[in-house]
Each structure stands twice: as structure tokens, then as C-alpha cells.
């Protein structure tokens, strides 16, 4: 339905146009594509259980939401026409993965296999409401680290040359580290993809076939508290 004159007046700075059968504001063209794809997927998901399970996250792509410090969220890879598109981030063995068969995390309730994160003062953490010293993400962009992306546990010191701050979400809730994006490299443990921060190396860690990707945060208002393996 097209916005009423009253609602349009309340947002006089916006220009409205159609995205499929839906009206969207002209100030967020990137959202328009998400709306269109969400509508298409809703139409076909009735007969497809896997797509039906993805719809809550996809709807989040089409609606503007602000994730603030302390809010919990999951992370999802976006790389069209690839094996990692819409894959959730997993955490295990002090590293970060996509499509890892088992995290083997210790959680308050049964895990769906996805890691849950939150931001605080530029730091990125794994959600654990039972610990005053949660697991924290780090990046090593040195010549040795080549963008290594992992996490420490408890009072464990960050590895040499690593950094822990300047993670942030942009206006579309896409995650970056000091302005840098992310890579996913195939053929890791269990057939998973290992996740790296882009540090100017096309295939870090001796990997081959790494893919650049966007990383979208999807707010999770019912997080599962977990401790992930070291």
C-alpha cells in the first residue's frame, strides 16, 4: 500500500517509490533490493523448509534497525551466487568459521549452531551472560597474521601484533574492522570456510579460492549464552 498523505507528510524529507508491490523510501536504495528479494522468497518459501527458516533473517535485511552497544546479534555472510551466501558465523577452537558442522559450544540451551555476538566500545565479544570476562575477538593484520580473525578466552592475552578494537557496524548493520571487510576461505576443518579480515592478502594463511564478502549483523533479542571451545 502506498503511504498515506499524512504519513508522507511526517517524512517530508523522503521520496517514496515502489519495490515490487511495496513502497520504500528513496533514501535507502540498498534496502529496496532486499525488500524485493524478501518478497520473492516469501512467495516460494511456502514449499521450501530451508527458505522458510531463513525468512526471519531476510526480513531483517529489508527493515532498517539500529544495533547499539550491548545488543546481541548473529553475523551472516553475504556473497551472491556462492556457497557462503546467507551462511551464519560459527565460533570454535578460538577461530571463526562459516558452515562449520558442529561448534561443540557449551550453551544454556540447545544451540542452533550459530555464534552470538555483541559490540562494546569498539570491541567484539561472544555472548556469555555467565562470565564477567567474556571471550573477545581479535584481528592480526601483521605480515605473519595476514588478517587472522579469532578470539581469546577469559584472561588470556591477545596474540602478539593483534588488535581488539575498531569493530563497527555501518548504517546497514554491515560489520567492518577499522574500515576493512572480510574474507571466507574454503577447505577448513569439517569442510567449513575459515573467516579472515581483509589485510591486503588475497588468499591469507596459504589458502586458495578465498572470497570477499559483506558481513551483516542480524539482531537477536533472544540470545543463547554459550562458551565456545578454545
Domain end marker among 60, 86, 103: 60
Q: How many domains does the chain have?
A: 2
108 and 146 share a domain?
yes
Kindly state whether residues 99 and 46 are assigned to the same domain. Answer: no
pLDDT of residue 95: 98
CB 126 within 8 Å of CB 93:
no
Are 120 and 208 part of one and the same domain?
yes
Look at residues 20, 42, 60 and tell me which one is the last residue of a structural domain: 60
Residues 83 and 120 in one domain: yes
Q: What is the pLDDT of residue 131?
A: 87
**79 plus 40 within the same structural domain:** no
In the chain, how many H helices and how many E strands?
A: 3, 17
List the chain pLDDT tens, one digit each, 230 residues. Answer: 444 443 333 333 333 333 333 333 444 444 545 555 555 555 555 555 555 555 555 555 555 558 999 999 999 999 999 999 999 999 999 999 999 999 999 999 999 999 999 999 999 999 999 888 999 999 999 999 999 999 999 999 999 999 999 999 999 999 999 999 999 999 999 999 999 999 999 999 999 999 999 999 999 999 999 999 99
Q: Do 39 and 77 sit in the same domain of this protein?
A: no
- Tell me how far apart the alpha carbons of residues 169 and 71 are, in angstroms, rounded to a whole number: 12
Domain around 37: 5-60
Are residues 120 and 38 located together in one domain of the fold?
A: no
What was the pLDDT predicted at 102?
A: 96
Do 56 and 168 belong to one domain? Answer: no
- pTM for this entry: 0.73
Q: Are residues 17 and 131 in the same domain?
A: no
Residue 78 belongs to domain with CATH number: 2.80.10
Whether residues 136 and 185 fall in one domain: yes
Q: Which of 30, 60, 90 is the C-terminal boundary of a domain?
A: 60
* Domain identity same for 142 and 192: yes
Q: Please say whether the beta carbons of 78 and 68 come within 8 A.
A: no
Is residue 176 within 8 Å of residue 167, measured between CB atoms? yes
Torsion of CA 83, 91, 115, 161, to 10 degrees: -100
User: Are 10 and 116 part of one and the same domain?
Assistant: no
Q: What is the DSSP string of 132-162?
A: SS--EEEEE-STTTTTEEEEE-TTPPPPTTE
Amino acid at each position: 500500500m502506498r503511504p498515506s498523505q499524512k504519513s508522507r507528510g511526517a517524512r517530508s524529507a523522503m521520496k517514496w517509490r515502489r519495490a515490487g508491490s511495496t513502497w520504500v523510501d528513496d533514501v535507502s536504495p540498498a534496502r529496496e533490493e532486499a525488500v524485493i528479494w524478501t518478497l520473492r522468497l516469501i512467495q516460494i518459501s511456502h514449499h521450501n523448509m530451508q527458505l522458510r527458516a531463513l525468512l526471519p533473517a531476510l526480513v531483517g535485511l529489508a527493515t532498517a534497525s539500529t544495533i547499539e552497544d550491548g545488543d546481541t546479534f548473529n553475523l551472516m555472510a553475504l556473497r551472491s551466487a556462492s556457497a557462503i551466501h546467507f551462511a551464519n558465523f560459527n565460533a570454535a577452537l578460538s577461530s571463526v568459521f562459516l558452515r562449520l558442522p558442529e561448534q561443540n559450544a557449551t550453551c544454556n540451551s540447545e544451540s542452533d549452531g550459530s555464534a552470538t555476538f555483541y559490540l562494546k566500545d569498539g570491541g567484539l565479544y561472544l555472548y556469555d551472560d555467565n562470565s564477567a570476562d567474556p571471550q573477545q575477538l581479535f584481528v592480526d593484520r601483521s605480515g605473519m597474521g595476514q588478517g587472522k580473525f579469532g578470539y581469546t578466552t577469559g584472561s588470556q592475552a591477545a596474540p602478539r601484533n593483534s588488535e581488539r578494537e575498531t569493530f563497527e557496524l555501518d548504517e546497514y548493520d554491515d560489520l567492518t574492522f577499522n574500515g576493512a571487510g572480510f574474507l571466507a576461505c574454503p577447505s577448513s576443518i569439517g569442510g567449513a570456510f575459515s573467516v579472515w579480515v581483509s589485510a591486503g592478502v588475497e588468499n591469507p594463511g596459504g589458502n586458495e579460492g578465498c572470497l570477499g564478502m559483506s558481513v551483516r549483523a542480524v539482531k537477536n533479542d533472544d540470545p543463547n549464552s554459550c562458551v565456545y571451545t578454545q
